[in-house]
């Protein structure tokens, strides 16, 4: 699985959009970009994933650049409950391999 | 639909003892993965089970083992506990069909403290 690079920490004002970047310059053609988050001492929570098109769900939007070397997770109207560590993970959907390789993630703090 | 459940939620053991943790996946999910999370090493993959077979294993000593039952429930066992085994143990389940990307759903974890 390709390596990802994320900033260690970010702050965002409550009510504003939080934009979390992720660099994955060595991504392969069949690898998906996944985002998970972990609120303190809880299990990670799946947010969204995508291959090359932009994706949106009820939680967030995922913007993947055309060359797929980077992506941005957007939380449109951040709330205090969005304070968490956000992990960007790149992996291929290989049947027989569900392993997720977590990096150090981005610690997002929402400021009241 | 009920989420992934893990029991017990908290556990205190002493060095040298052994421990068994349990995970019930989301109904219909056939893959169960286990992770260890510590402040120093972060989230690390332990192993994955599918249809009662271990098909992926992380870089952990043989003291860490697991199994999966026919109903997809899984247990992991740690023998001869060491202080460094103190961690949050997380279980995740997925459909594991391999196409189109699968999301994994995590349980709340079992917090193990070794004294």
Place of tokens 């001492």: A41
Check A97 against B45: CB less than 8 A apart: no
- Structural contact between residues B26 and B1, judged by C-beta atoms closer than 8 angstroms: yes
- Residue B99: pLDDT above 60? no
For residue B54, what are the contacts with CB-CB under 8 A and spacing of at least 6? B47, B48, B66, B68
Q: Across the interface, which of A87, A93, A100 has its CB nearest the CB of B99? A: A93
CA distance B101 to chain A (A): 5
Pick the closest to residue B56 from A97, A13, A104 (CA basis). Answer: A97
pLDDT on residue B97: 59
> pLDDT tier at A96 (50, 70, 90 boundaries)?
low
More confident residue, A62 or B56: A62
Q: What are the backbone dihedrals phi and psi of residue A7, each rounded to the nearest 5 degrees, phi first?
A: -65, 145
**Chain A touched by B38 (CB under 8 Å):** no
CA distance A76 to chain B (A): 22
A61-75, A84-98, B64-78: which has the minimum mean pLDDT? A84-98
**Chain A touched by B55 (CB under 8 Å):** yes
């Amino acid at each position: 699985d390709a390596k990802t690079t994320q900033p260690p920490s970010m702050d965002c004002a409550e009510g504003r959009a939080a934009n979390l970047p992720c660099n994955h310059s060595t991504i392969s053609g069949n690898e998906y970009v996944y985002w998970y988050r972990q609120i303190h001492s809880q299990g990670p929570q799946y947010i969204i994933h995508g291959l090359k098109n932009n994706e949106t769900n009820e939680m967030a939007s995922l913007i993947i650049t055309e060359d797929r070397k980077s992506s941005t997770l957007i939380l449109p109207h951040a709330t205090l409950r969005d304070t968490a560590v956000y992990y960007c993970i790149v992996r291929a959907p290989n049947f027989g391999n569900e392993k997720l390789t977590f990096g150090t993630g981005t610690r997002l703090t929402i400021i009241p | 639909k009920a989420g992934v459940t893990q029991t017990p939620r908290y556990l205190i053991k002493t060095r040298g003892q052994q421990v068994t943790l349990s995970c019930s996946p989301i109904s219909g999910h056939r893959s169960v993965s286990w992770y260890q999370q510590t402040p120093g090493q972060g989230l690390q993959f332990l192993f994955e089970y599918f249809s009662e077979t271990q098909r992926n294993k992380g870089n952990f000593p043989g003291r860490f083992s697991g199994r999966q039952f026919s109903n997809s429930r899984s247990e992991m066992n740690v023998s001869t506990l060491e202080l460094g085994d103190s961690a949050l143990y997380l279980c995740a389940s997925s459909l594991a069909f391999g196409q189109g990307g699968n999301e994994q759903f995590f349980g709340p974890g079992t917090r193990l403290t070794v004294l």
